[in-house]
Amino acid sequence: MQKAGAFLLFLCLLLAQGPFGFAQEKEPGIEEEVPVEPDWDMYIPSLYSRGDKTVSISLGLIFPLALVNQGKTLSMQMIPIGGTGNIMFNYFLDSRFFLGGEAGLMFIGTQRKNTFLAYPFGFRGGYQFILGRFEFPLALSIGFAPQHYLDEKYFGMYIKPAVSAFFRLTPDWSFGATTQGWWIPQWPKEKDKAVDGYFIDVTLSARFHF
């Protein structure tokens, strides 16, 4: 009788812990699943959202296209190639549209070994197309451009449309190239001295995302 009671007690204990014991057992050759983080190759445009920001630095060459006075193209004494650089800030309103600002420098020499300088700073806005890890911002900048040539100084405006192509190398960095058209007018009181300057640049750009 005592043996039967002991056997029943052992059986009850075995049944009571059975579900927990079996839950901890693993079949041979099956490893526990580990959460997998999304791979960077799965980058999608929704990575951008309102409040995202970028800062880019660009350096490159600028080419004078034409100087126009009262509808007539002037003979340019400028050297065909100059230099330019700028820093730009963008604030994204959503995954595509952005607003920001910029500041930079451009210089072009003349055949008489003088230098024309301009220091543009202003506002910019644009729209960005995204294709995988390639990003194509289109932007328009409007601002002011203090200018200096020999002893003459002029404080004018400028307008620059821009097209860029970037490759998003990491979540924080993208690299690419930018080309911009420049319109820099000089409109003094003497209309015969008014000049509209047209330029185009090509720069290499590095962009930090945060």
pLDDT one-digit tens code per residue, 151-198: 889 999 999 999 999 999 999 999 999 999 999 999 888 877 889 999
Q: Does the residue 122 lie in any domain? A: yes
- State the average pLDDT over residues 195-207: 96
Q: Does the residue 48 lie in any domain? A: no
Range of the domain at 119: 55-209
Highest average pLDDT, of 7-11, 111-115, 172-176, 192-196, comes from 172-176
Q: Does the residue 20 lie in any domain? A: no
The CATH number of residue 61's host domain is 2.40.160.20
Q: Does the residue 8 lie in any domain? A: no
What is the pLDDT, as a whole number, of residue 20?
45
Strands (E), the chain: 53-69, 72-73, 82-92, 97-109, 115-118, 121-131, 134-149, 152-168, 173-186, 195-209
Q: What is the pTM of this model?
A: 0.74
What is the pLDDT, as a whole number, of residue 21?
47
Domains in the chain: how many in total? Answer: 1
Which tens digit of pLDDT belongs to each residue from 78-108? 889 999 999 999 999 998 999 999 999 999 9
**Residue percentage of the chain with pLDDT more than 90:** 62
Q: Does the residue 94 lie in any domain? A: yes
Q: 123 and 132 in contact (C-beta within 8 Å)?
A: no
Q: In which band, very low, low, confident or very high, does the pLDDT at 72 lie, cut at 50, 70 and 90?
A: confident
| Contacts of 19-25 spanning 24+ positions with Cβ under 8 A | none
Q: Does the residue 43 lie in any domain? A: no
Q: In which band, very low, low, confident or very high, does the pLDDT at 22 lie, cut at 50, 70 and 90?
A: very low
Q: Does the residue 137 lie in any domain? A: yes
Q: Does the residue 26 lie in any domain? A: no
Tokens 């192509």 belong to 165
